[in-house]
Amino acid sequence: MSFSVIKRSFSTSMAKNAIKNVTVIGGGLMGSGIAQVTAQAGQNVTLVEVNADVLKKTETSIATSLARVAKKLYKDKPSDGEKFVAETRGRIKGSTDPIASVKQADLVVEAIIENIDIKHKLFKDLDAAAPPTTLFASNTSSLSIGEIASVTNRKDRFGGLHFFNPVPVMKLLEVIRTPETSDETYQAFMAWGKSIGKVCITCKDTPGFVVNRLLVPYMAEAVRMYERGDASARDIDTAMKLGAGYPMGPFELNDYVGLDTTNFILEGWHKKMPENPLFEPLESMKKLVSEGKFGIKSGEGYYKYDKK
Ligand SMILES: C[C@H](O)CC(=O)SCCNC(=O)CCNC(=O)[C@H](O)C(C)(C)COP(=O)(O)OP(=O)(O)OC[C@H]1O[C@@H](n2cnc3c(N)ncnc32)[C@H](O)[C@@H]1OP(=O)(O)O
Ligand SMILES: NC(=O)c1ccc[n+]([C@@H]2O[C@H](COP(=O)([O-])OP(=O)(O)OC[C@H]3O[C@@H](n4cnc5c(N)ncnc54)[C@H](O)[C@@H]3O)[C@@H](O)[C@H]2O)c1
């Protein structure tokens, strides 16, 4: 079982909303979901990872997720579900060569580790390799889009496309424009978001955009409550699910998002805004991250999980 190779045609004008060939860089929690929903919408996807082993894992997680989607969409006709899965997977091509992967891309969505230096290095290379018409977007949770774009020569064709985990289920897409993002690019992002079935909202290039600016301090406050010994993690989770109607409690959500990601977010914001107590990094989270306990993806975080 392997990703198929797709022949693709290059479109030159974004004005017709001709995004057909999308390159997704990073196939972790988010990149795999972004590749999946894009392929589900009938577009060709090249998914780039660091090596063949990670690509294999990405492929497995997309297959598992697609099977869940097919079960729901085609519950009365499983054979159509199988066709849907095969066709969707057939539109995704795996690659370990970021430079080659952007040569024919209409849009590049970056979903690699939340680290400005690593994102800068990647975008510098991609900017030199991609056609000038290619639009670039970052799925960053917390970094400034303008700062990420600063290393490229296409700041007018750069913006934020911030998805939510799990991407195949969460309907929202935050579209972030910097002062330099052109109207044409912004319109193309909004149209593309709609084309892959998302509801788009617009936000300026501010820390955390809309959702994370509210959600991350909430998750951090829950950890502070636990660190003070006010209540157990389990009871805080139960409280927020049964008392506030949240689908997951804050510790379940931290483990789901990835403690490495939340920790990166808090450390980055704290460095930039040390006066804001909401962004103070968390001792228990830093310790778990230093032990490689990132949450569900590593098998342990605030809770323990069965390794699949
Ligand atoms: C930090 C970042 O920058 C920003 C973020 O992403 S912040 C995080 C945002 N995300 C959240 O807040 C998620 C909160 N949690 C939830 O909404 C829900 O718990 C959940 C959707 C993850 C799971 O829902 P839950 O009812 O507990 O479990 P489950 O029954 O397994 O899943 C519900 C449905 O979603 C589907 N589903 C869940 N995960 C899926 C996946 N990865 N792929 C495809 N389908 C999936 C299931 O198949 C199921 O479908 P059904 O209703 O037709 O049976
Ligand atoms: N986890 C979330 O809930 C969430 C939600 C929205 C946005 N984000 C953002 O999305 C991005 C990715 O987060 P994630 O949770 O998917 O992380 P993740 O750790 O699950 O996946 C990141 C993937 O990127 C790959 N990678 C790293 N460097 C690479 C490179 N140079 N080229 C190709 N692949 C590379 C890694 O091998 C890894 O598989 C981050 O910027 C994060 O802040 C995360």
266 burial (CB, 10 Å; 0-12 / 13-18 / 19+) is: buried
Ligand 2 pocket test, pick from 145, 261, 289 with the greatest ligand atom count within 8 Å of Cβ, gives 261
| Gap between the Cα atoms of 205 and 297, Å rounded | 29
Residue ranges of the chain with pLDDT lower than 50?
Answer: 1, 5-16
Q: What is the set of active-site residues?
A: 141, 162, 174, 212
Quick: pLDDT tens for 211-245: 999 999 999 999 999 999 999 999 999 999 999 99
| Ligand 2 near 113 CB (within 6 A) | yes
Residues with Cβ within 8 Å of 291's Cβ and at least 6 positions away in sequence, in order, are none
Q: Whose CA is nearest to atom 17 of ligand 2?
A: 28
The confidence score (pLDDT) of residue 176 equals 98
The pLDDT value given to residue 18: 82
Please, which residues have CB within 8 angstroms of residue 155's CB and are 6 or more apart in sequence? 146, 149, 178, 180, 181
Cα(29) to centroid(ligand 1), Å: 12
Predicted local confidence at residue 14, as pLDDT: 46
**For ligand 1, atom 13, which residue shows the shortest CA distance?**
165
Confidence at residue 308, expressed as pLDDT on a 0 to 100 scale: 59
